[in-house]
Structure 1
Amino acid sequence: MRKRALSALFAMMATLSAAVPAAADEVVLRAISAFQKGTTFFTPFDAFVKSVNENGKGKVRINLVGGPDAMPPFEVGNALRGGVIDLANTTAVYHANLVPEGLAMTLTDLSMADLRSNGGYALLDEIHMKKANIHWLGRLVQNMNYHIYMSKYPDNLEFKGLKIRSAPTYKAFFDGLGIAPMQTAAGEVFTALERGTIDGYAWPSVGVFDLGWQEKTAARIDPGFYQVETGIYISGNTWKKLTAEQRAVLEEEMLKAEAASAAYRDMAKEEFKRQEKAGIRTFALDETKAKAFTDMAQEEGWKPVVAASPVEGAKLRELFAK
């Protein structure tokens, strides 16, 4: 049933994109966003699309055909690999089944400028192309951590036994802490908090208010861990067909978007003030526990990357870790 539904969706998308008129030398790229329109992680993609369409007029245009309501986020990687879509606003977390090494982007504290200059970007892009026929164009979000948020403010925090909404990105880390990772869809988190099915959730510094979760959140645990990563990924089939001039438009716009993403550090600071006003109190681990917490996050996080690709995984750690 699900395969038939997806096949129908892909056919519809192909029809929609074919119906879009284009100039003789202009290519129209069919795009999907893994994030809902109007949310924190859709906004930079929307700006990217508008800038490409304005500055690439006559050369390349992006046609956004849908979001997570049109295609489940975990299906996006396969759709890119098969050329069903041309371009996606997504995260390597969602296609870790195809490219587990992509989690390196979540584990780094280095900027994209650093990774482009030290060879880290080129290596991970090469791995994406080799394993999944996907070209990694660049990163839209950086300088933003994940945090554990809890429905009740803890008097004495013990991680062991907590039921926390998780994702593949930090499952190994949570296992190490003794947390019971819960696979809860984002749309079900509010109800799960309300019913006590989960004790909390892991989420970025920014975005709690997008889904109304602040109403059921009492505490944010500091320090944060890892780096939120969303970016632009292009089907390898599509990338190979683009002219040098069309590629240049996308690459130039990507660099502009990466430069703008530095603002997320200040955005997180403003978000914390907003959380405090909404009644979300900070629970800060003491210095010793905080160091153990962040050290474990790194050690556990790199294990699946290196296990999936011992040689390239070790090289990625060398390039992506400070």
Structure 2
Amino acid sequence: MKRREFLTAAGAGVAATTAVAMPAIAQSMPELKWRCTSSFPKSLDTIYGAAELMAKTVSEATDGKFQIQVFAAGEIVPGLQALDATQNNTVEMCHTASYYYVGKDPTFAFGSAFPFGLNARQINAWFYHGGGLTLLNEFYKKYNVYMLPGGNTGGQMGGWFRKEIKTVQDLQGLKMRIAGIAGQIMSKLGVVPQQLAGGDIYPALEKGTIDAAEWVGPYDDEKLGLQKVAPYYYYPGWWEGCASLTFFYNQAKWNELPKSYQAILTSAAAQANGDMLANYDSKNPAAIQRLVKAGTQLRRYPNEVMDAAYKVAQDLYEEIGAKNPDFKKVHEAARAFRNEEYLWWQIVEYTYDDYMVRARTRG
């Protein structure tokens, strides 16, 4: 074969190969437009911003072929209806907190936090390497959704109060914005729990409709202005050693995705998950200093209150688990993982942090 004929034949071969390959690539990268409803307002840039980061990452990773538009709470459905909208395919996905839905089943708590549970690093270890995600997604199948972690606040504060809490008796009759299982525990300690969306907390405290409220921590609480209507700020938030945020995907829509898109969504969710925690860790120190300088009174929960809450929590878990096998199964797995983690934590993590806190105090 002459050189010119060879090159012509080779070129034809390449063209034929390209003609075969291009449709396959195109089929694996379809153009999709999804909607993600958030349970949070845009003003909470730490939480709402995680969903925006996820959407931006997905778009860039697919050269704009997979677009996800994020909607704030109330723009499509109210914040506490995000899961329902995803279940029934009003939207393809949502960004929310799993424990908002313990009214459907208390097992939903474990996707976010449970009182006296895991801290942020521990829950991520449980999700990704301790079997937590597998367990939870077995449960979430019953609600037609698939879940990926979508952020974490880290340890939370214990709420704003109009009066000091020195004993368990001081909790009697207090109307407090606190949701989920934590609300059930507080109820057994004499509190009257109220479930309110973030934007409704300030007016309720201001009007005296409630006497106390918990939200997240210094950076977000300052944005809501809670320091203006309640002077005492308690810690730690024993009901949330961390709070993991959740991406829920409609199960059928998730299953329809090409494997490449599922992988991109998984990676984008993981990026949002880590970024949110770093964001809070970066912003909370300055925020707590601003609050104290403005007159906020920091108070640690008395041991009496902590011990009473811990006992009630353990009794409640036994009570729920006796009636709910899903709850019992997931709780036992999460509790066992937490206990193993603290064997390690008390050797290195806690001792290092304890020393460094004392060293900082000494200057």
Indicate if the aligned counterparts of 2:109 and 2:180 stay in contact, CA closer than 8 A. no
Unaligned runs of 5+ in 2: 1-27, 339-363
Question: What amino acid sits opposite 1:138 in the alignment?
Answer: P
TM-score, L = length of structure 2:
0.73
Q: Counterpart in 2 of 1:139?
A: 150
Is the strand fraction higher in 1 or 2?
Answer: 1
Question: How far 1:151 sits from its partner (Å)?
Answer: 2.5
Indicate if the aligned counterparts of 2:146 and 2:249 stay in contact, CA closer than 8 A. yes
Percent of aligned positions with the same letter in both sequences? 22
SS at 1:30's partner residue?
A: strand
Aligned equivalents of 2:182 and 2:331: distance in 1? 17
Aligned equivalents of 2:201 and 2:82: distance in 1? 22
Question: How far 1:201 sits from its partner (Å)?
Answer: 0.8
Asked if 1:238 corresponds to 2:244, the answer is: no
* Residues 1:184 and 1:83: Cα distance change in structure 2 (over 3 Å): closer
Is the helix fraction higher in 1 or 2?
Answer: 2
- Give the aligned length: 297
Q: Counterpart in 2 of 1:314?
A: 328
Question: How far 1:184 sits from its partner (Å)?
Answer: 4.3
Indicate if the aligned counterparts of 1:176 and 1:296 stay in contact, CA closer than 8 A. no
Question: What amino acid sits opposite 2:132 in the alignment?
Answer: G
Aligned equivalents of 1:128 and 1:101: distance in 2? 9
SS at 1:42's partner residue?
A: helix
Asked if 1:27 corresponds to 2:32, the answer is: yes
* Residues 1:278 and 1:41: Cα distance change in structure 2 (over 3 Å): farther
Between stretches 61-70 and 150-159, larger displacement belongs to 150-159
Between stretches 41-50 and 232-241, larger displacement belongs to 41-50
* Residues 1:212 and 1:308: Cα distance change in structure 2 (over 3 Å): farther
TM-score, L = length of structure 1:
0.82
* Residues 1:185 and 1:313: Cα distance change in structure 2 (over 3 Å): closer
Between stretches 54-63 and 37-46, larger displacement belongs to 54-63
Within-5 A mapping of 1:1-322: 25-39=30-44, 40-104=46-110, 105-107=112-114, 108-109=117-118, 110-129=122-141, 131-153=142-164, 158-206=170-218, 207-225=220-238, 226=240, 227-263=242-278, 264-286=280-302, 288-289=303-304, 291-293=306-308, 295-296=310-311, 298-299=313-314, 302=317, 306=321, 309-310=324-325, 312-321=326-335, 322=338
* Residues 1:147 and 1:300: Cα distance change in structure 2 (over 3 Å): farther
Indicate if the aligned counterparts of 2:40 and 2:96 stay in contact, CA closer than 8 A. yes
Question: What amino acid sits opposite 1:314 in the alignment?
Answer: K
Question: What amino acid sits opposite 1:271 in the alignment?
Answer: A
SS at 1:41's partner residue?
A: helix
Between stretches 164-173 and 295-304, larger displacement belongs to 295-304
SS at 1:175's partner residue?
A: helix
SS at 2:86's partner residue?
A: helix
SS at 2:237's partner residue?
A: strand
* Residues 1:305 and 1:141: Cα distance change in structure 2 (over 3 Å): farther
CA RMSD of aligned residues (A): 2.6
Aligned equivalents of 2:237 and 2:50: distance in 1? 22
SS at 2:42's partner residue?
A: coil
Cα deviation per residue 1:201-226 (whole Å; 9 max; x = unaligned)? 12211411222222112011122222
Indicate if the aligned counterparts of 1:142 and 1:262 stay in contact, CA closer than 8 A. yes
Aligned equivalents of 1:150 and 1:259: distance in 2? 31
Q: Counterpart in 2 of 1:10?
A: none
* Residues 1:187 and 1:124: Cα distance change in structure 2 (over 3 Å): same
* Residues 1:77 and 1:305: Cα distance change in structure 2 (over 3 Å): farther
Aligned equivalents of 1:38 and 1:304: distance in 2? 39
Question: What amino acid sits opposite 1:242 in the alignment?
Answer: L
* Residues 1:293 and 1:27: Cα distance change in structure 2 (over 3 Å): farther
Runs of 4+ residues over 6 Å off in structure 1: none
Question: What amino acid sits opposite 2:159 in the alignment?
Answer: I
